[in-house]
Amino acid sequence: MEVVIVQDAKAGGELIARGIAELLRRKPDALLGVATGSTPLPVYEALASEVRAGAVDVSRARVAQLDEYVGLPAGHPESYRSVVLREVVEPLGLSPDAFMGPDGGADDVRAACAAYDAALAAAGGVDLQLLGIGTDGHIGFNEPCSSLASRTRIKTLTEQTRVDNARFFEGDIEQVPHHVITQGIGTILEARHLVLLAIGDGKADAVATSVEGPVAAVCPASALQLHPHATVVVDEAAASKLK
Ligand code: F6R
């Protein structure tokens, strides 16, 4: 695992966007695994400006969602499908056909989860998976004590994560769904390159436990230590509890 300390979120975004651009030059139809939340936004902004500057061709790039809320009405602005369309697919000028995600509105959620794992494999697997990290060490929505071998499945959000995410729902925790579909930790580990971005002192404990603690289900992001190509990009504040 490599840890890269950057000055701020913008520098982290630019660094990762350059890495994605490099990947797309090598492999124009790369499958990019995209996270949602606040942290990856500078990456998407930096990548969109590389595209506008003509520095990278994304015309054949594909994107795959990491997770999705269960039970939000179709087209809800905070469904992760809507978020990825708004923040990644549209700014990059990708075709909506180049975009895949789990079906959070499926009647048979278990079948939808298995179908998503199968679709990822059929697409050749994720080339680069961008990850954020929860204050409790979650990746995707694999909350603490998720199996390190888990596959895409339905999970119940912890109270802490619902509190953290209420800001996307007018600050009202009642509007935050209780359930999500998330790629499992085993699924995430199949991506060829994992890139985790963490910004701010609120992530410092989770970063230190993930990078320097034991590999343990109690801290899902510690599973990155098992991956042969994992990069953790942090600002000084998020790095402040590293030894
Ligand atoms: C969202 C996701 C989550 C977030 C994490 C951090 O797709 O996978 O693991 O990355 O909750 O969220 P932010 O970046 O908003 O602090």
pLDDT-based confidence at residue 203 (cuts at 50, 70, 90) = very high
List 68, 87, 103, 143, catalytic entry: 143
CA 128–ligand 1 middle distance (angstroms): 16
- The whole-number pLDDT of residue 52 equals 94
- The whole-number pLDDT of residue 170 equals 97
Exposed, middle or buried, 180 (CB in 10 Å: 0-12/13-18/19+)? buried
Whether the CB-CB separation of 183 and 152 falls below 8 Å is answered with yes
Atom of ligand 1 lying closest to residue 35 CA: 7
Whether 95 is in the pocket of ligand 1, judged by its Cβ within 6 Å, is: no
As separate numbers, helices (DSSP H) first and strands (DSSP E) second, the chain gives 8, 10
Instruction: Give 50-85 pLDDT, tens digit per residue.
Output: 999 999 999 999 999 999 999 999 899 999 999 999
Q: Which of 180, 144, 181 is nearest to 160 (CA)?
A: 144
**Residue 179 annotated in active site:** no
Report which protein residue has its CA nearest ligand 1's atom 1: 36
Q: Residues of the chain with pLDDT > 90: what percent? A: 98
Instruction: Give 152-177 pLDDT, tens digit per residue.
Output: 999 999 999 999 999 999 999 999 99
Average pLDDT, the chain: 97
Q: Residues of the chain with pLDDT > 70: what percent? A: 100
Whole-number Cα distances in Å, 216 to 9, 21, 77, 168, 241: 28, 33, 34, 30, 19
Which mutation among 85, 87, 135, 141 tests ligand 1's pocket best, with the greatest number of atoms within 8 A of CB?
Answer: 141
pLDDT-based confidence at residue 96 (cuts at 50, 70, 90) = confident
- The whole-number pLDDT of residue 25 equals 96
At 141 the three-state DSSP class reads: coil
List 14, 87, 103, 138, catalytic entry: 138
Structure tokens at 154: 């339905």
Report which protein residue has its CA nearest ligand 1's atom 15: 37
Give the residue-averaged pLDDT of 105-129.
Answer: 97
CA 166–ligand 1 middle distance (angstroms): 12
Q: How far apart are CA 180 and CA 5, in angstroms?
A: 31
The full set of domain ranges for the chain reads 2-143+154-181
Whether the CB-CB separation of 218 and 207 falls below 8 Å is answered with no
Instruction: Give 223-240 pLDDT, tens digit per residue.
Output: 999 999 999 999 999 999
**Residue 193 annotated in active site:** no
- The whole-number pLDDT of residue 218 equals 98
Q: Does domain 2-143+154-181 have CATH number 3.40.50.720?
A: no
Whether 67 is in the pocket of ligand 1, judged by its Cβ within 6 Å, is: yes
Q: How far apart are CA 215 and CA 147, in angstroms?
A: 11
Whether 184 is in the pocket of ligand 1, judged by its Cβ within 6 Å, is: no
